[in-house]
Amino acid sequence: QVQLVESGGGLVQAGGSLRLSCAASGRAFSNLHMGWFRQAPGMEREFVTAISWRYPIQNYADSVKGRFTISRDNAEKMLYLQMNSLKPEDTAVYYCAASAASTITPTTRAAGYDYWGQGTQVTVSS
C-alpha cells in the first residue's frame, strides 16, 4: 500500500507560479513511477506529467510543456510539480498518483496508476 498526500495548491494570478508537493508513505517509493493528473469541474481527469522510477524519464502533456517541471526525491519520498506561467485553464484539482508497473516508461493513462492522493485545488485567476 502507498499513501499519497498532496499540498501546495492555492489561488494565484495568471502568469504566477506554484509548487505542488506529494508526500508518499508505505512501500518503496523509489520503485514507483509517479505522476500528476488534474481534473477541472465537469471534465475528465487528464494527464499532466509523469516521471519514471529509474533512468528518470519524464512525460509532459503538450499543454504544460515548457511551463511545468516534475521532480522527485527518493530519499525523502517526495514528488514535486513546479508550475510556472500559470494560465486560467490550468485551474483544476491536481492529483498525485503512483504506478507499480514494471515498465520502463510511465503511462499517461489514469487507469495505469494504482494509488492516488486526495487532490489539491489550484485556481488561476485572470
Grid cell listed for 1: 500500500
- Per the CB < 8 A criterion, the answer to whether 33 and 81 are in contact is no
- Per the CB < 8 A criterion, the answer to whether 57 and 106 are in contact is yes
Q: Mean pLDDT across the chain, nearest whole number?
A: 95
Amino acid at 33: H
Grid cell listed for 70: 516534475
Closest CA to 24 of 119, 118, 117, 121: 117
Cα–Cα distance measured from residue 60 to residue 68, given in angstroms and rounded to the nearest whole number: 8
Grid cell listed for 95: 492529483
Say if residue 56's pLDDT is above 90.
no
Grid cell listed for 52: 519514471
Say if residue 104's pLDDT is above 80.
yes
pLDDT digits (tens, 9 = 90+) for 6-47: 999 999 999 999 999 999 998 788 889 999 999 999 999 999
